[in-house]
Amino acid sequence: MPIKGNIVFSAWENSGFWAVDISNPHQPKAVGHFVPPVFRRVNSDAGHADDVFVHENGLVFASSSDPGGGFWIMRHTPGTKGTVEWTADNKNVTVKYEKRPEN
């Protein structure tokens, strides 16, 4: 599993890609996740996550073997929440994100 600082990045099949803070190994804490959107032409209720790699520059490269799942390039950005959806023509995705309020 790729590790960047105290964050472990992992792929969990239909539960998506997860970022887990392991700074306290006795209490790991989920700090981010992304479940690929379901491809509209596939009869499925969840996206799929297979492999994940984190570059030293912080980009997270992730793959999904589902039809239409493809290859995702992301950046773990604490304090944000987003959604990703396929466009009606199944050719592109739309990405929306917003800052989360500070706790």
> Considering its fold, how many domains does the chain have in total?
1
Which pLDDT does position 67 carry in this prediction? 64
CA distance 5 to 21: 9
> What is the per-residue pLDDT for 99?
74
- Give the pLDDT confidence of 17-43 residue by residue, as tens digits: 888 999 999 999 998 888 877 766 656
User: What is residue 36's three-state secondary structure?
Assistant: coil
Write down the pLDDT at residue 27: 95
The two structure tokens encoding residue 46: 């969840």
- pLDDT, residue 103, reads 52
pLDDT at 68: 60
Range of the domain at 64: 3-99
Residues of the chain below pLDDT 50: none
Residue 69 pLDDT: 67
